[in-house]
Amino acid sequence: MAYILNTPEEQRAMLAQLGLEHIEELFAVIPAELRLQRPLQLPPALSEMELHQLLEGLAQRNTSAAQLPCFLGGGAYDHFIPAVVDAIASRSEYYTAYTPYQAEASQGTLQVIFEYQTLMCQLTGLAVANASLYEGGSGVAEAVLMALGVTGRHQGEVLVPESLHPDYRRVLATYLANLSCTLRVLPTPAGFLDPDDLRQTISDRTAAVVLQSPNFFGHLEELTEGAALAHRVGAVCIAVFDPISLGILQRPGDCGADIAVAEGQGLGIPLGYGGPYLGILACRDDTAYLRRLPGRLVGQTTDRQGRRCWVLTLQTREQHIRREKATSNICTNQGLMALRAAVYLTALGPQGLRETAELCLRKAHYAAQQLTRIAGVELRFRRPFFKEFTVRWPGPTHSLPHQLRQRGLLAALPLGRWFPHLHDCFTLAVTEKRTRAEIDALAAALQDCLH
């Protein structure tokens, strides 16, 4: 089908086929009061050159992380992307491929997904990874739906700490709004979920415990102890992790997590308002989990000639089976984003991932050290952190991002919009891209903002 306007002759032919004389007759079923009664006030058409100039002018009104050093985080981070990621992902074989409906004709796409799944299993320490989800928030919700099915506690409770990303909590609340289970948010006054608080709350009604480590405040949770407490009452432990952090931190599977979920943006995917991003989900090799895994699972086998090939092993989406029997309505996998993540991890390798994580860790702690030398500035929580941390500020925080942008920096994510009791706090994220000079400039700019 050509993407061009149809001609008046073609329009007349189509109307004749429908037994109509005018296009307006197609809209006769729409009540008159619902129709637009005035002509659209559209500007005159532009030439290609004029349109290009207009769009360039609009784009220049934005300030991106490519223009200024970025210390913003909160779930999306300015990590370095090796050139090989763009080089491979921009090949037409990949960026035009949609989804493998006819698996026998999509061997290249299926192999990419299989390699991605393998890397995710190695990264998380779990046996099975799907391919794949939209982003971290929907990944958390899908993991909880899996947990409800695995435990059978559809009228029970799902426990999440206040330190879980607030947007993830909102997505989860939306998913559970019309179900019988209860979403219970546990307070985290110390910046993490105290295992003693979880011990007092968890019960045999608990279907799942969701722990994010590093959490929204940037600090580490007691994941191993949380998983043990969940298992003690027959609940599922869902770990939300930062993929880069696993270069130096223990893997979720090694901590006892049953399901691991992450936002994969940091794995070679550029920052973008609204994405597209990547939802990572991996789980235990258990039939109860596998039959409830959303999306797809690609497996490796051999054909009749004994050659290695790939197939869709598990297809639980509604487009493959009857809607009421589908485990999820995830309508496709983020194939191109999964490819980017696979190329990124392959390019770095285990040593490169470790070095990236170590740089994030060291630079973040250097930044915290420099900032807390400013009079009145302190770390809000006394907890270990990886690349992001929470700062208590002696002045108003809502205007800080604008003040810092005027000084050539993208920094300071105020927490008051989500946590009123933290109205005097903001978070900072320091990735491997940030230099000592940029960190020192941030400290100087914050010092200047106090005067």
Average pLDDT across the chain, whole number:
93
Domains and CATH numbers, the chain: 83-344 (3.40.640.10), 349-449 (3.90.1150.10)
Arithmetic mean of pLDDT, 284-291: 92
CB 132 within 8 A of CB 297: no
Cα→Cα distances 420→221, 334, 390, 398, 416, Å: 22, 35, 15, 12, 5
Q: How confident is the model at residue 329 (pLDDT cuts 50, 70, 90)?
A: low
| Per-residue confidence (pLDDT) for residue 322, from 0 to 100 | 57
- Please list the residues that pair with 310 across neighbouring strands: 300
Residues 6+ away with beta carbon under 8 Å from 320:
326
pLDDT per residue over 400-430, tens digit each? 999 999 999 999 999 999 999 999 999 999 9
Of 198 and 131, the structure prediction assigns the larger pLDDT to 198
Arithmetic mean of pLDDT, 325-333: 67
Q: How confident is the model at residue 382 (pLDDT cuts 50, 70, 90)?
A: very high
| Per-residue confidence (pLDDT) for residue 373, from 0 to 100 | 97
Among 82-86, 277-281, 321-325, whose mean pLDDT is lowest?
A: 321-325
Which residue reads 């079923």 in tokens? 29
Residues 6+ away with beta carbon under 8 Å from 16:
none
| Per-residue confidence (pLDDT) for residue 391, from 0 to 100 | 98
Arithmetic mean of pLDDT, 64-83: 96
pLDDT of residue 320 exceeding 60, the answer is no
pLDDT of residue 104 exceeding 70, the answer is no
Q: What is d(CA 329, CA 103) in angstroms, rounded to the nearest whole number? A: 20
The dihedral region occupied by 74, where left means phi > 0, alpha psi between -120 and 50, and beta the remainder, is left
Q: What is d(CA 235, CA 280) in angstroms, rounded to the nearest whole number? A: 21
CA torsion 169-175-180-185 (nearest 10°) is 0
Arithmetic mean of pLDDT, 60-73: 93
Amino acid identity of 303? Answer: D
Q: How confident is the model at residue 56 (pLDDT cuts 50, 70, 90)?
A: very high
pLDDT per residue over 6-25, tens digit each? 889 999 999 999 999 999 89
CB 136 within 8 A of CB 261: yes
Arithmetic mean of pLDDT, 330-345: 86
CA-closest candidate to residue 109, choices 119, 99, 123: 99
| Per-residue confidence (pLDDT) for residue 439, from 0 to 100 | 98
pLDDT of residue 213 exceeding 70, the answer is yes
Cα→Cα distances 130→56, 119, 135, 209, 289, Å: 39, 11, 13, 21, 11
Q: What is d(CA 332, CA 134) in angstroms, rounded to the nearest whole number? A: 9
CB 163 within 8 A of CB 169: no
Arithmetic mean of pLDDT, 252-273: 96
CB 357 within 8 A of CB 135: no
pLDDT of residue 326 exceeding 80, the answer is no
Q: What is d(CA 272, CA 131) in angstroms, rounded to the nearest whole number? A: 21
pLDDT of residue 268 exceeding 80, the answer is yes
Arithmetic mean of pLDDT, 111-132: 95
Arithmetic mean of pLDDT, 80-88: 97
Cα→Cα distances 6→12, 14, 25, 46, 335, Å: 10, 10, 18, 21, 33
DSSP 271-331: --TT----EEEEE-S-HHHHTT--SEEEEEEE-TTS-EEEEEEEE-BTTTS-GGG-SB---
